[in-house]
Structure 1
Amino acid sequence: MDSNFRRQAYQFLLTCELEGWLDPSRGLLKAKPCQPPPRGGREKKARASVTLERGSVTLELEMEQHKPSRLQKDVAAILSEMQIEFVEEFIDERSGYSLDLLLRDKRTAIEVDGPSHFIVGTHIPLGKTVMKHRHMQQLGFDLRILPYWEWDQLKGKEQKKEYIRRLLTSTPSVILL
């Protein structure tokens, strides 16, 4: 099976478990965290191994952990200036997903969605982006979505800090379930 098929099968099985269509007590999904990419290295992606088990069937899936984008690094720099503690590229062991920025409470996550998360020329998120957001919300994360076009309109650090304050104190992003 090619990696794209395995990734889609994984997302399907995760959806089945989170929707209650499969018995979660059977331990369907197990994710093994990976190490973050080496600092200053040329390697852009690290790997996380996700093991899917159902009865006698075991499927190993390599998940890629991406190096933070320039946009994500900018958001992280503002959070640091605001003295908000966070972990960048946190791998959730239950799902295998990487969260862009997980705050200290281990519940609130900021997903920095750049242009590659949207249909070209629109503000409509891709299916894989919607699915990830939905899964993370179902797993109990207080997900805050930061779309690139809103961040790009901000001028200077003070506007960016105010945006982050509003993002973190507003009602959580709503994902249609």
Structure 2
Amino acid sequence: MSILIGTGIVATAAALYLGKKGWHALHKAVGITPGVLTYQDSNATLSPATTSWQQLSLNKKHLKSLPDQQLRQLQSIDNKVTYYQRYQKSQSVKNKAPVTTEQQFVLNKLLQTRLPEMLASHHHLMNANIGTDHASDEKRIEANKLLQKMLDNIEQRLDMLMAQIETQHLQDLKAMDSYMDSYDN
């Protein structure tokens, strides 16, 4: 009798253990972690205080005066920079020393120095107590336009670098295909 009870307890424990492992495996297969998933509405306005940056070093205080659209654009830029940095690291792992081009140098300078400086200037201008007259409103509008122009410029430069990377890899594949075709004949 005690053997049957012991076997039942072991079988129940094994079933619970395997069920839990299967449940976690199912969640992992679809890309979620049980108990950790939190829903984030992609259309909700962003909060500078809760926004995290993977690559950009930005002062959260300077982001408070930005509209939601510019915060989203900064996040997009941050995501592209993250992808680009991963690509650069993968090249160094493959023992290919990444050569810094002028475009890459300028982009790096924009991201590391000029963007934080411009965000600081924009923040100070937006929060300055210079009055509510028409001239100060025009200055704020011009500041928003200039900041938007800079963000567009940075994103355009990143897109061009990404396109160059894709083109280079496509050319590498074409060269390998041509090499393989030359030995098929």
TM-score, normalised with respect to structure 1: 0.23
Structure with larger RCO (C-alpha < 8 A, sep 6+): 2
Higher helix share: 2
Higher strand share: 1
- Name the larger-Rg structure: 2
